[in-house]
Chain A
Amino acid sequence: MTAPRTLDDLLAIEAIKQLKARYFLFMDTKRWDEWRELFTDDVRVEGGPPHDSRDAFVDFVRRGLENVQSAHQGHTPIIEVTSESTARGTWAMSDDLLFPAGHPWAGTQPRRCGYGHYEEEYRRVDGDWKIASMRLTRLAEWDEAPPGTRGAPKGSR
């Protein structure tokens, strides 16, 4: 791989890594007001139901995850700074969701483990990097028994 060329590029890459770290932290700890600030007003989201407005997207996720124990992780970012105020990147990701009974997103089991990649674009607004577009592609989504119950005799739960 070709190395980033300038210190400014490296500082932007580090800021964007921290932006995505906050994305995961604020989502899983349900700090929705802070989560909202990570996106541009006109953020475009694909990979689930498409959205092109920040507030509608944040409300959709907040309602969906309200009673869900979620754990999202991001790994091995590839960030490319394309100008002083634009960048793009990909992240490997996993999510582990524990749904309450009857949740509309739940599958055959209360737990779902998913794996995939985020493809994103970033824009610097008033000095702060924000997520301007986000597309989640999936390698796999597996419905799993909840932790601690796997391997228990059938009917024991």
Chain B
Amino acid sequence: MSSETGDLEAIKQLKARYCRTMDTKDWQGMRALFADDVTVDTTESGGTVITGADEFMRFLREAIGDVTTVHHCHLPEIDLTAPTRATGVWAMEDMLRWPDGAEMHGYGHYHETYEKRGGSWRIVSSKLTRLRMDFGAGPTS
């Protein structure tokens, strides 16, 4: 078969693991999805541009370590630009609740690049652009 179709499915599964490992707080599993020199742009969510997978994991554990998070991704647009390189755009929705009851419900798009290194696809860059972020003080009471 064309290896391209297999690569497309592998990249979709890569992003599926990104959401699942983040929300289940499987930090070790999540770390393995990134290239060591990954760049993650979180500026539209109120963060910074972070370089390095270990640095990003440190940032994430601090930001959402004690937050209940749900991240859902939809409708991937994956382009294989070379046998070992690809770009992707994913629609996304996320729901966060902090221990004090504060909450955020957001929508946006992940803009990403991927590379196949050592036989496995990894995230090399990721920028989250936001359509909306709705903040609430807490659940209705």
Q: Which positions in A face B, CB cutoff 8 Å?
A: 1-7, 9-10, 13, 73, 75-79, 90, 92, 94, 109, 115, 117, 139-140, 142-145, 150
Partner of A109, one of B6, B16, B121, B140: B140
Q: Which residues of B contact A7 (CB under 8 A)?
A: 1, 5
Partner of B9, one of A3, A73, A139, A143: A3
Q: Which residues of B contact A1 (CB under 8 A)?
A: 10-11, 13-14, 17, 120-121
A92–B120 contact, CB under 8 A? no
On whether A140 and B97 interact (CB within 8 A), knowing A4-B6, A10-B5, A10-B9, the answer reads: yes
Q: Which residues of B contact A4 (CB under 8 A)?
A: 6, 9-10
How far is the CB of A67 from the nearest CB of chain B, in Å?
A: 23
Q: Which positions in B face A, CB cutoff 8 Å?
A: 1, 3, 5-7, 9-17, 19-20, 23-24, 68-70, 72-74, 95, 97, 119-121, 139-140
Partner of B119, one of A2, A76, A117, A143: A2
How far is the CB of B32 from the nearest CB of chain A, in Å?
A: 10
- Name 26 A/B residue pairs within 8 A (Cβ), A-sorted: A1-B11, A1-B121, A3-B3, A4-B10, A7-B1, A7-B5, A10-B1, A10-B5, A75-B19, A75-B72, A75-B74, A76-B15, A76-B72, A77-B13, A78-B13, A79-B13, A92-B19, A92-B23, A94-B70, A115-B23, A117-B20, A139-B24, A139-B70, A140-B95, A143-B139, A144-B139
B140–A2 contact, CB under 8 A? no
Bound-complex Cα distance A115 to B69 (A): 9
How far is the CB of A134 from the nearest CB of chain B, in Å?
A: 16
Summed over the interface, the residue pairs from A and B with CB atoms below 8 Å come to a total of 80
Q: Which residues of B contact A79 (CB under 8 A)?
A: 13
Closest to B11 in A: A1
B1–A78 contact, CB under 8 A? no
Q: Which residues of A contact B120 (CB under 8 A)?
A: 1-2
How far is the CB of A140 from the nearest CB of chain B, in Å?
A: 5
B6–A142 contact, CB under 8 A? no
Bound-complex Cα distance A4 to B5 (A): 9
Bound-complex Cα distance A5 to B119 (A): 12
Q: Which residues of B contact A5 (CB under 8 A)?
A: 6
Q: Which residues of A contact B121 (CB under 8 A)?
A: 1, 3
Bound-complex Cα distance A6 to B6 (A): 8
Bound-complex Cα distance A124 to B23 (A): 31
